[in-house]
Amino acid sequence: MSASINPDRLSPALRTEALEQLLTERGLVDPAVMDKFISTYENDVGPLNGAKVVAKAWTDPEYRARLLAEGTSAIKELGFAGPQGEHIVVLENTDTVHHVVTCTLCSCYPWPVLGLPPGWYKDPAYRARIVREPRAVLAEMGLTLPDDVEVKVWDSSSEVRYLVLPLRPEGTEDASEEELAGHVTRDMMVGVAR
C-alpha cells in the first residue's frame, strides 16, 4: 500500500514549489520567465521605487502635496505604475498620527512601489492581529510608539492600496534625494517601522 501525501499538511512554500514543478513539467510555465518576473519585482520594482517616491516628497513640497492628494498619478510621474498599483492612496505619518497597512482578506500590496509583499504581511496572524491590537504587533516588530501617538490601521483591497509616507529623519535637512532614499525601508512604507 502506498502512502499518499496530504497537501494540507505541506507548508505554503512546499506547495508552491510542487505546483511550480508540476506546471513546468506540463510545459505551462517557463522557469526562466518565472525567475525574471521574481527578480524584477525583488530588485527593480522593489522598495527602492517607493523610497524614491518618499525622498522626492521629503524634498519637494509641491510633489508632496500632489502625492497626498492623488497618490497614483504622483507616483506615475516618477515612472512607477503597473499591476497592483492602479489606485494607491498615500498616508502621511506625523508626530501625532502613525499609519500602518494590512490586507485582512489576502495580501493586497502596492507592487510598483514596494515590490513583492514580505511573508509576514501575508501571514494570517499579522493580518488579524494588527487590526485588533496594533500597538502590541508593532512592539513585537520592534516599534514602540509613545502613548500620545494615535495609530490608524488601513485595510488594503483589490480596489485601493496604501503607501505610508514616513516622517523625515531628523538631521537630514541637507541630504540629497538619493541620500534620503537610502534612509527609507519597505517596513517604514508599510508602517511597521519608523
Task: State yes or no: is 11 an active-site residue.
Answer: no
CA dihedral 34, 40, 41, 46 (to 10 degrees): 160
Task: State yes or no: is 156 an active-site residue.
Answer: no
* CA-wise closest residue to 119 among 93, 139, 92, 141: 141
Q: Which residues pair with 102 in a beta bridge?
A: 155
Tell me how far apart the terminal alpha carbons of the chain are, to the nearest angstrom. Answer: 57
Q: Is 106 annotated as a binding residue?
A: yes
Q: Is 156 annotated as a binding residue?
A: no
Task: State yes or no: is 73 an active-site residue.
Answer: no
CA distance 163 to 26: 39
Catalytic residue among 108, 157, 158, 176: 108
Catalytic residue among 4, 11, 73, 103: 103
Catalytic residue among 73, 106, 158, 176: 106
Q: Is 2 annotated as a binding residue?
A: no
Q: Is 11 annotated as a binding residue?
A: no
Q: Is 170 exposed, middle or buried (0-12, 13-18, 19+ CB in 10 A)?
A: exposed
CA distance 49 to 182: 11
CA distance 167 to 133: 23
Q: What residue type is 118 in one-letter code?
A: P
Q: Which three cell numbers, joined as nine digits, stand for 75? A: 507616483
Annotated binding site for Fe(3+): 103, 106-108
Annotated binding site: 103, 106-108
Q: Which residues are catalytic?
A: 103, 106-108
